[in-house]
Amino acid sequence: MAIKGTAIVTGAGSGIGKCVAQALLRDGWNTVFCGRRTEPLEAAISETLDTEAKGLAVSCDVSSPEQVENLFRTAAEAFGRIDLLFNNAGMGCKAAPIDEIPVESWHEVLGVNLTGSFLCARAAFGAMRRQEPMGGRIINNGSISAHAPRPGSVPYTTTKHAITGLTKTLALDGRPFDIACGQIDIGNALTEMAAPMAAGIPQANGSVAVEAVMDVQRVAEAVVYMAGLPLDANVLFMTVMATKMPFVGRG
């Protein structure tokens, strides 16, 4: 299998990020697994056996400009170029009305979800623009919450709506440099974060209801598809969700 390029996946120590990073590695991408702690990253790589492509674990807090710069410098030194960024690292906070949400929680969520995505996209864009041959692809992890919020989720929902603006602007600004940018909006993939949905989660009408979930591998397959397109084609927005989740009728 020929190596398809170099990918960086943030939030790759668990959940969606881990699953996507492993899928890219199996698909022939040299893949940098990025997260706050090295141990889960190395464990995720070790689980992905018999691949010609190589995995590399790099500890990084995406809200830190210095650490993001080091991440991309390390990736370029290891593999020569940057072809793909999956901007995935994210977090939420305890659901509450806006006046009960601590300002510190707001700053923390925006620091990871929005500033982190900006910093990583900025570094990726700069590398892709200047390398030879130039170009690459950025895939942002949006969310169903980029379209419709859950109750009490002001910080998280605000960041995910903002990611849509980031995606559109990068897709426009990347045109002269063969940089494609798309967004995947994911609904109810079964990870540790989504596990409570199987037990029941608050709905907009005040009730608590069990929601359908899907295998997180479906998300990985979707990202691998988006990543594998030639740079003259782009999935600008994709929604992949559990078929029976109450998104279309939410509210």
**Catalytic residue annotation:** 156
Q: Is 184 helix (H, G, I), strand (E, B) or coil?
A: strand
d(Cα 205, Cα 151) in Å, to the nearest integer?
9
- Is residue 71 a contact partner of residue 32, using CB atoms and an 8 Å limit? yes
| Pair 247, 187: CB distance under 8 Å | yes
Q: Cβ–Cβ contacts within 10 Å for residue 249, how many?
A: 8
- What residues form DSSP beta bridges with 251? none
CA dihedral 49, 54, 60, 65 (to 10 degrees): -160
In our burial notation (b when 16+ CB lie closer than 10 A, e otherwise), range 114-123 reads bbbbbbbbeb
**Closest by Cα among 159, 183, 164, 163 to 235:** 183
The Cα 73–Cα 197 span in angstroms is 39
Q: Which two tokens stand for residue 150?
A: 């859950």
Give the distance between the most distant pair of CA atoms in the chain. Answer: 55
